[in-house]
Amino acid sequence: MPVEWADWGPELLVTIDRHSGAGLRSQLEDQMRDAVRSGRLAGGERLPSSRELARALGLSRGLVQDCYAQLQAEGYLTSRPGSATRVAAGAVVRPEAPSPASRPARPRHAVADFRHGVPDLRLAPREDWAWAVREVCRTAPNSAFDYGDPIGEPRLREVLAAYLRRVRAVAATADQVVVCTGMAQALGLVLRVLAGDGVDTLAFEDPGAGVSTTEQAVAAGMAAVPVPVDADGLDVAALDRTPARAVLVTPAHQWPTGVVLAGHRRQELIAWARRRDGVIVEDDYDAEFRYDRDPVGSLQGLAPDRVVSLGTVSKSLAPALRLGWVIAPERLLGALAGGKRVADRGSPSLDQLALLTLIESGRYDRHLRRARAEYAARRKTLLATLAAHAPALRVTGLAAGFHAVLHLPAGADEDELVRQAGRRGVGLYGMARMHRAAPPAGPRLVLGFGDTPKPAIEAGIAAIADLLQEG
């Protein structure tokens, strides 16, 4: 389908060389033929009027009209009385497009998809976000439309620090906050700064996000080593046996097992960092969503000199907003600011101001309360449905976030269960694939319910009930 430009005089890149010795009309005709043949001008695409093109090129309108007439006669253009001149559909010879890089297509499951790591995209507060953007555009000074502070809008950093002190017990001021374009950039910036400071090995939780973490570490020039996780969280004794001076952890709700880093492990981890002159990188990815447990504060609040805390609105609002932050010790801030400035000169200022407006207005907190209530209801539905169809199976990891861990019978084949469920239109995901070195502690499924409505949860579990009972 051709692009329809709103302007009746769309621009067209044509260059006329008055010193080349070639005729002006032949130059125009040759360039327009080439543009059509190459596919630069698509079939059916509207061209500028002869008056507009003549004005833009400094040519007579009659010359342009003669050019159009010649190209129409040759079949390159078409025109009808009262209509714009357009490229003839059959005249375009499109160049062969290069093969896109292979990218796994997201599976489509007709009954239910228990994919994890994604919030309910239907809950994204579109009206609130639109309101916040309108407020920013209506009230922001002209200076807000200039390049902003590379590390983030000062007022947003101030409000984020206050908000995180209130809800996550962080120990931070606005000066310690660097606003980033999502969690991936935040982690990448931190790892590059640590590598520049002599840290050559990063440890990460196993099971966990091993593939993406390793890619980030390698990109920063670091090695990455897995460290096992047990019922109390990261095994600090095993961490101590590695050469790592930095470790990435998810202490509030470990990904993917769902365990909380126990109090004694927190103290052991901080002691390791002080003894090793190391850094703890805390991914606080879904701490806003808790259900039947007391709040667990940020690890950063216990050791602000040794912990770098990463946060994002990807789970609380929507991944598409690409807004996150780093809270770092003072000694790392200069290098982080420099890295952010080199990376992109700062995240989009208007989006930052919209987030600021959302938080200050109270709409952000109200959205979180609504989302938390919805996820709690889905959690309840998942538990009730599993109790009805697979009562013998244990479910863990449900105290926070929006995924659960279903423990399958010993000897069950995760991969085969996933394949059979897929044939029934149900998307399941095994935990064995998330292990790097530590052997899996029995067959388990990670059941995400963030983007899975209650009717789909019920239908999906019912559709595979016999598979779950068989293991």
How many CB atoms within 10 Å of residue 370? 12
Give the separation between CA 168 and CA 41, rounded to whole angstroms.
54
| Residues of the domain holding 32 | 1-102
Taking the complete model, does pTM exceed 0.75, yes or no? yes
Residues 192 and 237 occupy one common structural domain: yes
Is the pLDDT at 360 greater than 60? The verdict is: yes
Shared domain check, 176 and 134: yes
Domain boundary among 317, 338, 361: 361
22 pLDDT above the threshold of 90? no
**Residue pLDDT, tens place only, 278-328:** 999 999 876 667 665 566 789 999 999 999 999 999 989 999 999 999 999
In the chain, the number of structural domains is 3
Mean pLDDT of 358-378: 93
Question: 351 and 243 in one domain?
Answer: yes
% of the chain beyond a pLDDT of 90: 65
Query: Do 326 and 295 belong together in one domain?
Result: yes
Distance of CA 353 to the CA centre of its chain: 19
Read off the pLDDT band of 106 (50, 70, 90): low
Contact between residue 289 and residue 401 where contact means Cβ atoms under 8 Å apart:
yes
Residues 170, 307, single domain; the answer is: yes
Are residues 185 and 58 part of one domain?
no
In a domain, 107, yes or no: no
Domain-located, residue 39: yes
Mean pLDDT value of segment 248-258: 91
Half-sphere exposure at residue 81, Cβ-oriented, CA atoms within 13 angstroms: 0
φ, ψ (nearest 5 deg) of residue 19 = -115, 10
* Domain final residue pick, 318, 341, 361: 361
The pLDDT-based confidence of 9 (bands split at 50, 70, 90) is very low
CATH number of the domain that 57 lies in? Answer: 1.10.10.10
d(CA 36, CA 29): 11
Q: How many CB atoms lie within 10 A of CB 174?
A: 16
Same domain flag for 132 and 162: yes
326 neighbors 189 (Cβ within 8 angstroms):
yes
Mean local confidence (pLDDT), 45-62 = 87
Measured between its terminal Cα atoms, the distance across the chain in Å is 50
Q: Supply the DSSP symbol for 117.
A: S
The model's pLDDT over 416-471, given as tens digits with 9 standing for 90+, comes to 999 999 999 999 999 998 998 877 888 999 999 999 999 999 999 999 999 998 65
Residue 460 in any domain: the answer is yes
State whether 314 and 409 are in the same domain.
no
Q: Tell me, what's the pLDDT at 356?
A: 96
Residue 349 has a CB neighbour count (10 Å cut-off) of: 21
Please tell me whether residues 310 and 391 are part of one structural domain.
no
Q: What is the CATH number of the domain that holds 434?
A: 3.90.1150.10
User: Does 209 lie in the same domain as 335?
Assistant: yes
Is there a domain that residue 225 lies in? Answer: yes
- Looking at the predicted structure, is the pLDDT value of residue 268 above 50? yes
CA distances from 137 to 106, 131, 209, 251, 346 (A): 36, 10, 38, 38, 19
Same domain, 314 and 439: no
45 domain residue, yes or no: yes
**Strand 233-234, strand 223-230: pairing:** antiparallel
Question: Which of 332, 361, 390 marks a domain boundary?
Answer: 361
Concatenate the DSSP letters of all residues of 279-343 into one string. EEEEE-TTTT-B-SS-----GGGT-TTTEEEEEESTTTT-GGG--EEEE--HHHHHHHHHHHHHH
281, 308 Cβ separation under 8 angstroms: yes
Regarding whether 334 and 187 lie in a shared domain, the answer is: yes
Distance CA(57)–CA(141), nearest Å, equals 38
